[in-house]
């Protein structure tokens, strides 16, 4: 079960934040979970992470390390989460043992460059016969064909054997406790950090690094991290359009049989009434955050995305739009996004807008929520599919956003 972090791990965290203050949002967000005898269950060290942002620790093992070493190990585990190692490993269907070893090598040469006291058994590129300064995918490709030989060499050179957890290579370990209770896990399982909240934490860390760069030097690895996170590599508008199209196509594809019209094959079946395939007309809805935390630029983006929904739907009946701050405004049916009347400006509760959208008749197959994320969300999954367009503009409230729940089918970061 979840426990308070022991004193020595608390001290390690405080030491890390003293030298790396921009890691505060990540270091305080991870959920501590005590697991005795972790290393006997396959953990590499006294600490590990899973892909739900939970920080597992073995109290007895912690006592065998100095505070400075624990600080460096904690630093290492946070890097796994912030670099999205588990998602990258899953995307390429990587072997989890080799992925974890090469990910450790990618991280640890950066930590060594800062002259932090990592244990001798921490895997370095040299243990794999590789040079410093490469991505783990590059190390993986270089040694994949001779993986076992490379791992044997690493162990012979003193590198440890074990796993950092599913937060690194994506494969759940025996010492992990499965999905959180609210995300399909067993009752009583410790809560974790969802994908959307993890993305917000990554952005918060990147923004803190960027601010620190303006006041002084930061390690090169962190400067690269901030640039990668804060400089969009993908056109979010294309991503959002793709998500909307996918949601609408899913709804359109839900064909069913109906007796309201005869089948085209009816003429060949005398005395038998055959149903015809019926394809439903879709009725999307858009919830637009008009709270005080949304500035004019954010609202302009919201309107542009309403237009995108209308174009994607290609429907004669227009699109239903609900403006929402702390309460949902009356529904507007629009054929042109420029005709939307933006009402609101108070507090924020996108749950009220989603509830109002799902109460519409006919019920929308998909609800697109355009928000800065600084809002509470419904606890229960809505009856309609939800696509969240998270507006991360200057001055928006997204930096203080509550966690977007796991039932949100897709989250698109709109950086404006």
Strands 366-371 and 385-391: parallel
Taking alpha carbons only, the member of 191, 162, 186, 166 closest to residue 176 is: 166
Backbone CA torsion sign across 324, 325, 330, 336: negative
Tell me, what's the pLDDT at 328?
94
Report whether 225 contacts 209 (CB < 8 A): yes
Tell me, what's the pLDDT at 381?
85
Taking alpha carbons only, the member of 242, 243, 275, 273 closest to residue 260 is: 275
Q: Which residues, in sequence order, are bridge partners of residue 288?
A: 323, 370
Collapsed DSSP state (helix, strand, coil) of residue 331: coil
Two structure tokens written together for 51 = 């892909």
Q: What is the pLDDT of residues 79-126, one digit of tens each?
A: 888 888 888 888 778 888 888 888 888 998 888 888 988 888 888 888
Two structure tokens written together for 377 = 């969300």
**In the chain, % of residues over pLDDT 90:** 9
Tell me, what's the pLDDT at 335?
82
Q: CA 212, CA 205: separation in Å to the nearest integer?
A: 10
Tell me, what's the pLDDT at 315?
56
DSSP for 352-372, written as a single string: HHHHHHHTSSSPPSEEEEEE-
To the nearest 10 degrees (0 to 180), the angle between helices 96-113 and 220-230 is 120
Q: CA 186, CA 202: separation in Å to the nearest integer?
A: 28
Q: Which helix (H) or strand (E) holds 226?
A: helix 220-230
Q: Which residues, in sequence order, are bridge partners of residue 63?
A: none
Q: Which helix (H) or strand (E) holds 313?
A: helix 296-313
Q: CA 248, CA 8: separation in Å to the nearest integer?
A: 52
Contacts of 45 (CB under 8 A, 6+ apart): 39, 61, 73, 119, 121, 160, 162, 164
Tokens 């989603």 belong to residue? 354
Report whether 25 contacts 205 (CB < 8 A): yes
Q: CA 157, CA 161: separation in Å to the nearest integer?
A: 11
- Return the HEC string of 135-177: CHHHHHHHHHHHHHHHHHHHHHCCCCCCECCHHHHCCCCCCCC
pTM: 0.57
Tell me, what's the pLDDT at 356?
95
Which parts of the chain have pLDDT scores under 70? 1-4, 147-148, 150-151, 153-162, 181-185, 196, 214-216, 231-282, 310-317, 393-403, 409-416
Tell me, what's the pLDDT at 287?
92
69 C-beta neighbours (distance < 10 Å), count? 18
Helices (H), 157-265: 166-169, 195-215, 220-230, 236-252
Q: CA 360, CA 108: separation in Å to the nearest integer?
A: 54
Taking alpha carbons only, the member of 395, 401, 388 closest to residue 416 is: 395
Report whether 112 contacts 118 (CB < 8 A): yes
Tell me, what's the pLDDT at 279?
47
Q: CA 223, CA 157: separation in Å to the nearest integer?
A: 31
Query: Mean pLDDT for the chain?
Result: 77
Q: For 344-365, b where at least 16 C-beta lie within 10 A, e where not — what string?
A: beeebbbbbbbbbbbeeeeebb
Strand order in the sheet with 54-57: 31-34, 54-57, 47-49
Tell me, what's the pLDDT at 211?
83
Report whether 405 contacts 382 (CB < 8 A): no
Centroid of chain to Cα 141: 26
């Amino acid at each position: 079960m979840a426990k308070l972090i022991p004193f020595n791990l608390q001290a390690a965290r405080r030491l890390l934040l003293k030298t790396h203050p921009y890691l505060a949002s990540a270091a305080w967000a991870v959920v501590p979970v005590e697991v005795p005898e972790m290393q006997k269950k396959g953990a590499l060290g006294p600490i590990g992470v899973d892909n739900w942002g939970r920080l597992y620790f073995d109290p007895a093992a912690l006592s065998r390390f100095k505070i400075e070493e624990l600080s460096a190990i904690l630093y290492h585990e946070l890097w796994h989460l912030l670099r999205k190692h588990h998602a990258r490993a899953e995307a390429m269907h990587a072997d989890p043992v080799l992925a974890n070893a090469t990910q450790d090598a990618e991280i640890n040469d950066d930590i060594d460059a800062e002259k932090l006291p990592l244990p001798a058994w921490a895997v370095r590129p040299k243990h794999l016969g590789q040079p410093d300064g490469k991505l783990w995918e590059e190390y993986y490709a270089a040694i994949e064909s001779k993986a076992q030989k490379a791992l044997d060499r690493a162990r012979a050179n003193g590198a440890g054997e074990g796993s950092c957890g599913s937060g690194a290579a994506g494969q759940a370990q025996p010492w992990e406790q499965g999905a959180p209770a609210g995300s399909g896990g067993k009752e009583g399982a410790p809560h974790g950090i969802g994908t959307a909240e993890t993305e917000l934490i990554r952005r918060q860390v990147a923004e803190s690094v960027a601010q620190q760069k303006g006041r002084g030097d930061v390690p090169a690895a962190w400067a690269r991290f901030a640039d990668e996170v804060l400089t969009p590599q993908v056109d979010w508008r294309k991503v959002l359009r793709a998500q909307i199209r996918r949601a609408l196509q899913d709804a359109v594809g839900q064909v069913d049989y109906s007796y309201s019209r005869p089948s085209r094959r009816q003429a060949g079946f005398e005395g038998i009434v055959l149903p015809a395939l019926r394809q439903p007309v879709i009725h999307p809805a858009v919830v637009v955050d008009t709270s005080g935390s949304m500035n004019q630029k954010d609202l302009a983006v919201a309107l542009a995305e309403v237009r995108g929904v209308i174009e994607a739907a290609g429907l004669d009946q227009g699109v239903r739009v609900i403006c929402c701050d702390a309460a949902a405004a009356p529904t507007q049916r629009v054929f042109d996004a420029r005709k939307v009347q933006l009402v609101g400006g108070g507090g924020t509760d996108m749950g009220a807008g989603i509830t109002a959208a799902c109460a519409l008749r006919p019920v929308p197959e998909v609800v697109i929520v355009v928000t800065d994320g600084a809002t509470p969300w419904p606890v229960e999954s809505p009856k309609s599919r939800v696509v969240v367009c998270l507006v991360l503009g200057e001055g928006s409230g997204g930096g203080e956003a509550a966690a977007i729940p796991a039932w949100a089918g897709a989250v698109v970061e709109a950086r404006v």
